[in-house]
Amino acid sequence: MFAALACLSGALVLSLALVTASQAFTATPVDCQAHVVRPGETLWEVARGIDPEADTRAVVRRLMSLNDLPTVDLVPGQPLCLP
């Protein structure tokens, strides 16, 4: 039973590694400008600074996707990739 569980766990880890590696090679490179979050700065402020004329909600969604952010919460010192 232990051997089967160990084998299954190993296969799962290998599968996840292969999926992650394949995604890394198929991702489209994006030109971005590095930005470091300042104390009190919000993602909405960053988005408005990128394109004041655009729909801020769309820019926020783009930033979240580009930076793989699960929420709009930022931490001072956090690096962001800005388009």
**Could you read off the pLDDT of 22-76 as tens digits, one per residue?**
455 555 566 899 999 999 999 999 999 999 999 999 999 999 999 999 999 999 9
Q: Is a pLDDT exceeding 90 seen at residue 17?
A: no
Which residue would you say has higher pLDDT here, 64 or 16? 64
What is the residue extent of each domain of the chain? 2-82
User: Phi and psi of 22, rounded to 5°?
Assistant: -65, -35
Q: CA 64, CA 72: separation in Å to the nearest integer?
A: 7
Distance of CA 38 to CAs 1, 47, 48, 50, 80, Å?
53, 14, 15, 15, 11
**Do the beta carbons of residue 82 and residue 48 sit within 8 Å?**
no
Q: Is a pLDDT exceeding 60 seen at residue 11?
A: no
